[in-house]
Amino acid sequence: MKTSFEKSISALITIILAFITLELSAHENQEPGAIPDSVTVKAKESKHSLYANAGLGYNMLYMGTSLSQDKPYFSGGVIYGFREELFLSVSGYHLNAYDAGVAFSTYSLIYSHTFNSWFDISLSASRYQVNKNLTDTLFTSFYYGDITLGFDWNLLYTKISAGGLFSESSAAYFQLRNSRFFKTSDFINGKAYLSFDPYVNLLFGVLTETSDGTVVSPPFHKGKSGGGSSSTTSTKFSLIEVDLGIPISFNIGKFTIDAEPGYAYPLYTDTSSGNTSGFTFNIGLYFRIL
């Protein structure tokens, strides 16, 4: 008998295949010699873009903490882009570990700019708004901002990020990510391609060790066992997690399907935050509206 997670994956795959079928049919029904949709879209591309996305996954880890408590989660949202450099996104997340329809929402403003073939930069500011019924069990609503420098060495692409998390408490984070992008030749009459971007990510952050032996970081442990009554014994900034992943994207026309299997290896223990190690997975569907 299928679990709820397996049923959800089957349903999403069915929807994705239906979208792909419709997209292929639209291409095949064009008159001979007609301009392909991809070329038409590019030719008519304006300063504005709008995307819709939906996804599901298993074991959501964020900044060294398991938000989904080692269970499935679902998401949906929209992304607006201006000149493909300035982006505004709004997303909502449902976590199977909690009864709330929307456990938390995110509101993000991102600016990215490519200076040349080897250097780019991005700035982001985000608001994570938790459902008011989950503030004592999930996390306290917070803001997060960071700056990321990207360096393309041809063989590797390196991202160096420094960020800060602001809530009732504050915390600093640093990430070093190395990846290698691969792209297949176009297929399906030049309308589609696959891309791969395997990576290794090192996450550094502030760890607070308490008298009962747990290690916590704000704002994810408010009200959890070990997070309120114990006293702080030491605080340090160190490597807290190593992440491995292989994002795979299938692109055709206005549709992009992303799948990312990965593995997280924490370098600390925290009995109050759920399972922060092991296999992670998410899959998402993106559709360009404008």
Residue-level pLDDT at 208? 77
261 Cβ neighbours under 8 A, 6+ residues apart: 245, 246, 279, 280, 281
What's the pTM value of the predicted model, to 2 decimals?
0.79
Least confident of 12-26, 102-116, 173-187, 191-205: 12-26
Number of domains the chain is built from:
1
Unique residue bearing structure tokens 């292929």: 24
Q: Which helix (H) or strand (E) holds 25?
A: helix 4-28
* pLDDT > 70 in the chain, percent: 74
Domain span holding position 99: 4-288
The better pLDDT of the pair 65, 88 is held by: 88
Residues 149-171 have pLDDT tens digits of: 999 999 999 999 999 988 877 88
Average pLDDT over every residue of 4-23: 47
Cα separation of 220 and 128, whole Å? 11
- CATH code at position 119: 2.40.160.40
Cα separation of 288 and 178, whole Å? 28
Backbone dihedral angles phi then psi of residue 168, each to the nearest 5 degrees = -65, -30
* Number of alpha carbons in the 13 Å side-chain half-sphere of residue 56: 15
